[in-house]
């Protein structure tokens, strides 16, 4: 989720590149860099304004490449910022995506005597391209042979010092487009930057690469067949583009679920072996094997992800798990226990209460691990080891895609810890396959978003709402209610379905609806009984159920369907319709769902 921009023409490149980068900052903003063959390379940590301070006023270059980074490999430092050069600094490259086999490639290059300045997968790509360029007759040929050796995703732009006005781009699973101007051309990872130069745009398809000069563009497939395509005109304004055409970041981020569920598991599932390959844990295998008890600490949505993780880790890895809210954990008396470990979950990696809990645990000599989205964030640095979520930046204050990726990473962790212990290969393979199916299943749910909108319109004026779920869906009930509270200001409560009879059922009447998460699972019949109790008191019921279940259709007033999946994965899928429901209710009530009142995206105070 970084931003790429490149320009070649007759105007001074640096101001154009900076302007383009600024418009891309919403995609990632922990560091930025620019290279122009005429002026050299400039990199800075932080937003583009920091980079701006380093740039020469008398720059002359009329072509260059630029990048704004959201770290995935290596902390956000100037060394890790793009562009990266090859060993002999004959070419510079900017890259979005993840090179899955970068470690193998890097080892081979190290053996051949290469030295690396950064910890990034991108620098490995630059070096590899440099090697191929040395023996190839053209850059086309070098790019072709390099990209054939790469596994993973990329959107990239490359410039060679020896041919300063020519820029190459390639795309595979990460968007790249070309902007076609009058005697100037550009390349962007999305249209926002391109719009600064021209409205004429051509998107590259996966497996295509392009060559641009100020006067020409050429698009080829990786086997170098030329494809001809005329540019289209960009119709959106910059703000709409940032939201990818959606009205709000929240909807855009909900709609990104398939991509996020793909990215968080990318390269991490060894399906045939039934194992999870979590790079950040590999060096600590022994310590992880010795864990006897796990304390998960988190706040807000991340806490609910932790509650979900408890069920998973206990079932699949057999490790007792306690889940604590960050602001409570630090004030409790801690009974020292051998084999205890702490797991912090945080999207931002900056939440003060979670951070304080980590510090407290470390002071007591407990191993601290993290599941964090923002690479290089304070929590990522404070924990001894961890797993990044690779969910990309989340702009909407109410967490949506980051929450889903937290759940998925917890499933990967349960698989990892389970296989270190008693988990059978068969069950591990079953779980692994179910994780791999999530992106397609998420896309299927999202394709029916209009149905959720209709239900949202129907219930938008209620004063209160109850969310119930059991076992793997217990946490989901709380998260669903939290989402509705956050963006629609409707009073919503999450509850364990079995607890209804101990209090909440007293509130039920025809004006008090309940959302019941009731997929086909081990507690289906039990939850059905709870729904029957609600219906007997004339309470309206919206159910989230497995496609094809006829029993629920008879019972509930409205049903949101999710595809059939094993219990823990159905719980992940059930989150998506609840996110959509909260979104559509909030919008129907006329609220700014991206910036709910009184809330902050990252709470860095106690």
Residues of the shown chain interacting with ligand G6P in the complex, contacts defined by CB under 6 A: 299-302, 346-348, 351, 354, 397-399, 599, 601-603
Query: In this structure, what token pair is assigned to residue 281?
Result: 């844990």
CB 248 → ligand G6P: shortest distance, Å? Answer: 15
CA atoms within 13 A on the CB side of 140: 13
- Give the whole-angstrom CA distance, residue 557 versus residue 574: 18
- Closer Cβ to ligand G6P, 98 or 305, answer by number: 305
Residue 545 · residue 518 · CB < 8 Å: yes
- Active-site residue among 11, 433, 460, 601? 601
How many residues does the structure list for the chain? Answer: 606
Query: Residue 521 is encoded by which pair of tokens?
Result: 């699972």
Spatial separation of the C-alpha atoms in residues 175 and 153, rounded to whole Å: 10
Rounded (5°) CA angle 439-371-76:
100
Q: Which is nearer to ligand G6P, 319 or 397 (CB)?
A: 397
Contacts 24+ apart (CB under 8 A), 531-534: 531/555, 531/556, 533/500, 533/501, 533/505, 534/500, 534/505, 534/508
Q: Residue 439 gets which letter from DSSP?
A: H
What would the DSSP string read from start to end of 264-327? HHTTTEETTTTEE--GGGGGGHHHHHT--EEEEEE-HHHHHHHHHHHHHHHHHH---EEEEEHH
In angstroms, the Cα distances linking 538 to 460, 463, 491 are 19, 16, 19
Instruction: Give the nearer residue to ligand G6P in terms of CB position, either 263 or 348.
Output: 348
Residue 432: φ, ψ to 5°: -60, -45
H/E stretch holding 570: helix 567-588
For the bound state, the minimum distance from the C-beta of residue 599 to ligand G6P, rounded and expressed in Å, comes to 5
Q: What is the CA radius of gyration of the chain?
A: 25
How far apart CA 351 and CA 368 sit, in angstroms, is 15
As measured in angstroms, the least distance from the Cβ of 398 to ligand G6P is 6
- Residue 278 C-beta: closest distance to ligand G6P, Å: 19
| CA atoms of 165 and 160, how far apart (whole Å) | 9
Task: Tell me the two tokens of residue 474.
Answer: 């217990």
- Cβ atoms of residues 531 and 541 within 8 Å: yes
Smallest distance, ligand G6P to C-beta of residue 300, A: 3
Closest approach, Cβ 544 to ligand G6P, in A, equals: 21
The sign of the dihedral angle between the CA atoms of 311, 312, 317, 323 is negative
Q: Which H, E and C letters describe 98-159, residue by residue? A: CECCHHHHHHHHHHCCCCCCCCCHHHHHHHHHHHHHHHCCCHHHHHHHHHHHCCECEEEEEE
Min dist. Cβ of residue 463 to ligand G6P (A): 23
299 is catalytic: no
Tokens of 219: 């698009």
Least distance CB 525 / ligand G6P (angstroms): 33
Which residue's CB is nearer to ligand G6P, number 478 or number 524?
A: 478
The residue (of 17 and 391) whose beta carbon lies closer to ligand G6P is 391
Q: Least distance (Å) from ligand G6P to the CB of residue 79?
A: 26
Q: How far is the CB of 389 from ligand G6P (least distance, A)?
A: 10
Q: How far is the CB of 355 from ligand G6P (least distance, A)?
A: 9
Nearer to ligand G6P, 72 or 399 (CB): 399
d(CA 168, CA 224) in angstroms, rounded, equals 13
DSSP type of residue 48: H
**601 is a catalytic site residue:** yes
Shorter beta-carbon distance to ligand G6P: residue 413 or 508: 413
User: Which residue sits closest to ligand G6P, CB atoms considered?
Assistant: 300
Closest CB to ligand G6P among 153 and 347? 347
Q: Report the residue number, 398 or 505, with the smaller CB distance to ligand G6P.
A: 398
When the beta carbons of 234 and 299 are compared against ligand G6P, the nearer one is 299
Closer to ligand G6P by CB, 8 or 400: give it: 400
Cβ neighbours, 10 Å, residue 554: 7
Residues 6+ apart with CB under 8 A from 69: 2, 28, 30, 31, 32, 33, 76, 80, 81, 82
Q: Are 528 and 552 in contact (CB under 8 A)?
A: yes
For residue 448, report the phi and psi dihedrals to the nearest 5 degrees.
-105, 30
Catalogue the active-site residues. 2, 601
């Amino acid at each position: 989720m970084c931003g790429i921009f490149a320009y070649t023409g007759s105007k001074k490149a640096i101001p154009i590149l900076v302007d383009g980068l600024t418009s891309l900052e919403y995609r990632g903003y922990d560091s930025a860099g620019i290279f122009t063959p005429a002026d050299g390379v400039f990199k800075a940590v932080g937003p583009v304004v920091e980079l701006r301070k380093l740039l020469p006023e008398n720059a002359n270059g009329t072509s260059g490449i630029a990048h704004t980074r959201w770290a995935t490999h290596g902390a956000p430092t100037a060394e890790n910022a793009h562009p990266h050069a090859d060993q002999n600094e004959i070419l510079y490259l900017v890259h979005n995506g993840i090179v899955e086999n970068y470690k193998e490639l890097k080892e081979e290059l190290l053996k051949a005597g290469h030295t690396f300045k950064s910890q990034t997968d991108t620098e490995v790509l630059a070096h590899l391209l440099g090697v191929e360029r040395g023996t190839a007759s053209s850059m086309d040929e070098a790019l072709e042979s390099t990209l054939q050796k790469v596994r993973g995703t990329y959107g990239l732009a490359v410039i060679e010092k020896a041919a300063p006005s020519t820029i190459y781009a390639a795309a595979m699973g990460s968007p790249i487009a070309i902007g076609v101007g009058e005697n100037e051309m550009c390349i962007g990872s999305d249209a926002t930057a391109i719009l600064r130069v021209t409205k004429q745009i051509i998107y590259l398809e996966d497996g295509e690469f392009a060559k641009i000069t100020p006067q020409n563009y050429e698009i080829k497939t990786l086997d170098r067949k030329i494809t001809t395509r005329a540019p289209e005109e960009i119709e959106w304004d910059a703000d709409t583009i940032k939201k990818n055409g959606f009205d709000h970041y929240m909807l855009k981020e909900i709609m990104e679920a398939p991509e996020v569920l793909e990215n968080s598991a990318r390269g991490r599932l060894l399906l045939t072996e039934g194992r999870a390959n979590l790079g950040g844990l590999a060096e600590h295998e022994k310590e992880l094997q010795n864990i006897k008890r796990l304390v998960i600490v988190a706040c807000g949505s991340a806490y609910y992800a932790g509650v979900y993780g408890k069920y998973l880790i206990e079932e699949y890895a057999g490790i007792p798990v306690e889940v604590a809210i960050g602001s409570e954990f630090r004030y409790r008396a801690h009974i020292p226990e051998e084999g205890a470990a702490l797991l912090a979950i945080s999207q931002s990696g900056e939440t003060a209460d979670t951070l304080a809990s980590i510090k407290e645990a470390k002071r007591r000599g407990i191993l601290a691990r993290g599941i964090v989205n923002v690479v290089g964030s304070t929590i990522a640095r404070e924990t001894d080891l961890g797993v990044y979520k690779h969910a990309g930046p989340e702009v909407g204050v109410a967490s949506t895609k980051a929450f889903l990726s937290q759940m998925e990473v917890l499933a990967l962790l349960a698989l990892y810890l389970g296989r270190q212990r008693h988990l059978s290969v068969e069950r591990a393979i079953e779980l692994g396959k179910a994780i791999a199916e999530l992106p397609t299943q998420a896309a299927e749910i999202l394709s029916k978003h209009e149905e959720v909108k209709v239900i949202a319109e129907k219930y938008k004026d209620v004063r209160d709402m109850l969310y119930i779920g059991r076992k793997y869906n217990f946490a989901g009930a709380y998260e669903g209610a939290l989402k509705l509270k956050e963006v629609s200001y409707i009073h919503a409560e999450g509850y364990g379905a079995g607890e209804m009879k101990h209090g909440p059922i007293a509130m039920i009447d025809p004006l008090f609806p309940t959302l019941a998460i009731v997929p086909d699972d081990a507690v289906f019949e039990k939850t059905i009984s709870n729904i029957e109790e609600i219906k007997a008191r004339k309470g309206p019921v919206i159910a989230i159920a497995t496609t094809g279940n006829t029993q629920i259709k008879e019972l509930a007033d409205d049903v949101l369907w999710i595809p059939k999946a094993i219990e823990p994965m159905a719980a992940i899928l059930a989150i998506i319709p609840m996110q959509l429901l909260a979104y559509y209710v909030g919008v129907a009530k006329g609220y700014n769902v991206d910036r709910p009142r009184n809330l902050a995206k990252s709470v860095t105070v106690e």
